[in-house]
Structure 1
């Protein structure tokens, strides 16, 4: 790819994880999916596991990570290159049909050390029992595109005690939790032998499954997601211990346009819905249940923040140009913007680093100097650091921008 090019079309990569839906992302990308294969995530970034492709004027493709490596300072800008040495973020679209795993992400220093240790042990990067795919942390922001449900951090102590008290089968955990011993509580349920897990959870499931099948449970109730988790993940003789976490964590409902930030150490799990997600350029996930993927409870426990969380819903704040909203987080690896372009009202933005612009609704034309690129729904553009890009639309366009704080 010519490094003198200021803007280029970008084509992401679909991840066919089994929990994904089969309609939302294909419709967004304008692709057919006659076999109803899962389209779980659409990655737009430079992560080595699934780098997006830059599309040249003649249709030739080049992996984004390779392109950045050719001239990182010119493409990323000196500040971002000096700080990160790579594209620091990864932008995704997710379609969560089935619940995702109980998971946590490591802090930066821990990821560097653990990644090196697994390399030294000779664990292949694509090995199913590999915990660390790279040497980076993975704080993340998700913005709901639909009504979205997730688990996010431990409930505050009073609320958690109330849930345990009101759930007869879990009252045995009250003395373990005491006045707020989150570490003892989570250690108990995560290190419990499988026979004891079954002993405690089977009566609970016997009680709630009939209510779930009758449609008598609401999504605001932990019982709803526990019953769904049983139907999704459990096998004869093995009840998934992740069901305990549903009662211990906050059940959060985000409406379209609302966002939430998940830092290192915060246990979480996506339950249902579609979202835009932006994160540090990493694929490090430590899992503790509600999944068919590799689970490593001792490794997960090393990284958990054993403290209560009051979920903070993030709303967009006005950006630097008309129609732009910014979703702020405490990290400098990434920033998500949403740009609303109205018909006949051009908007000009300046790329802070190698910025990615993804058209979620409508269509737009991007102009940078003498370069013009038409973008339809589901298409993306990459602009080099410092590039001024003008977007015009003959209708209305909603464009998500992946960048870093200015």
Structure 2
């Protein structure tokens, strides 16, 4: 068990305050700080602090001895850590994006390799051959667009905006209120020629302003405000229109959102813990200065309308709450440690990562070795580390425990109580 130093990622949509405050660094930061990666992705692995031996990347540590570091999880995931844990801080909206399935990722990665596209090229869509199911859990109020809204409800929204230029589009969707209708409308909007977009988008934004200034019930207030905010951040971007087709979601602290392959989404603002399969594959359709590849995005999108349910924490029976998802690569639990509570069992064994998001906590393993984590700090727990316990210091504390999920049909060569601790 060792302290883990995350890899800080700076993107334009990040915050100059959220991650710096969380980690106890000076505010404001010199650059927008968007993500803090705790994982072993080749693009930016975290570093393990070794006793008296400096640091070593988690990627190198796992690669050198996957049996020791990963234990039972080494075999089903080819000796690699299968998940990536992050802190995510969005001050401005992220790109309109989706992630591929595993099959799509393998095919896309192979195509770009064969075409000679460098792995670090800004034109690259597929940086690895893995899929990227992901779970985000809010640390503060978190706003997002995710999944295509039920078409009949979207028709109501388009009609409520009362924009003449939208009437034809609304009636086309009303005549085909299903995945095919959504595909047709989304494709039309996201591929509009510049002259057509320059006429339609301002009219839609004017409609949003009129709608918000009207009287009486306004059930689409959040959607109209979001369209105006996106247009201000990304003027003239067709992604603003596409955003009108998506569910508008607000997560309160402690609530989660799970996104499977093909779900179109854009995180808008907020601070969260995010866990995903160990991948950095993103197909973008707009709302970004980064590479946009609409044809490839259309190839992976799932247009089936869905009302994505909020993932609520469930009691896990060990003092923690778990966030249940179907992803075999990861599982996430949260412990809220009371002041004065000592030696709370976190997990019987690794592999896993413990992330402190409130207070201070001291971790102990079976040998008596200890690691103290402040807010924003993390620790790597290898498969060789067992009986991990936590003690809150200076009041209450909160920690998230990320580990490998359940692999269907796999016989795991560990004791029954150890297996329960990993789920």
TM-score normalized by structure 2? 0.89
| CA distance 1:145–1:92, change in 2 (3 Å) | same
1:174-323 → structure 2 map (5 Å cutoff): 174-177=170-173, 178-180=175-177, 181-208=181-208, 220-234=221-235, 239-322=236-319
Report how far residue 167 of structure 1 moved. Answer: 2.1
1:332 to 328, 332, 335: 328
Whether the aligned pair in 1 keeps the contact of 2:361 and 2:390 (CA below 8 Å) is yes
Q: Deviations over 1:156-187 (max 9, x none)?
A: 12211111222233222123322221211111
1:7-406 → structure 2 map (5 Å cutoff): 7-34=1-28, 36-58=30-52, 60-169=54-163, 170-177=166-173, 178-180=175-177, 181-208=181-208, 220-234=221-235, 239-322=236-319, 324-345=320-341, 346-350=343-347, 353-368=350-365, 369-385=367-383, 387-394=386-393, 395-405=395-405, 406=423
Q: Following the alignment from structure 2 to structure 1, what is the Cα–Cα distance between the partners of residues 391 and 277?
A: 30
Q: Following the alignment from structure 2 to structure 1, what is the Cα–Cα distance between the partners of residues 149 and 121?
A: 34
Q: Deviations over 1:77-102 (max 9, x none)?
A: 22443344310111111111111111
Whether the aligned pair in 2 keeps the contact of 1:220 and 1:251 (CA below 8 Å) is no
- Provide the residue aligned with 2:418 in structure 1: none
Whether the aligned pair in 1 keeps the contact of 2:132 and 2:261 (CA below 8 Å) is yes
* Alpha-carbon RMSD: 2.1
Q: Deviations over 1:186-240 (max 9, x none)?
A: 1111222121111111122245468889xxx999422211111121111xxxx10
Runs of 4+ in 1 over 3 A off after TM superposition: 33-36, 206-213, 217-220
| CA distance 1:138–1:191, change in 2 (3 Å) | same
Report how far residue 353 of structure 1 moved. Answer: 4.0
SS in 1 for 2:262: coil
Q: Following the alignment from structure 1 to structure 2, what is the Cα–Cα distance between the partners of residues 210 and 126?
A: 45
| CA distance 1:380–1:59, change in 2 (3 Å) | farther
Q: Following the alignment from structure 1 to structure 2, what is the Cα–Cα distance between the partners of residues 278 and 90?
A: 6
| CA distance 1:79–1:14, change in 2 (3 Å) | closer
Moved more, 381-390 or 125-134: 381-390
SS in 1 for 2:270: strand
Whether the aligned pair in 1 keeps the contact of 2:87 and 2:274 (CA below 8 Å) is yes
Q: Following the alignment from structure 1 to structure 2, what is the Cα–Cα distance between the partners of residues 374 and 219?
A: 47
What stretches of structure 1 of length at least 5 have no aligned partner?
A: 1-6
Q: Following the alignment from structure 2 to structure 1, what is the Cα–Cα distance between the partners of residues 316 and 284?
A: 36
| CA distance 1:330–1:84, change in 2 (3 Å) | farther
Whether the aligned pair in 1 keeps the contact of 2:212 and 2:221 (CA below 8 Å) is no
What stretches of structure 2 of length at least 5 have no aligned partner?
A: 406-422
Q: Following the alignment from structure 1 to structure 2, what is the Cα–Cα distance between the partners of residues 102 and 328?
A: 25
Report how far residue 396 of structure 1 moved. Answer: 1.1
Q: Following the alignment from structure 1 to structure 2, what is the Cα–Cα distance between the partners of residues 361 and 142?
A: 17
Paired residues, what number?
Answer: 394
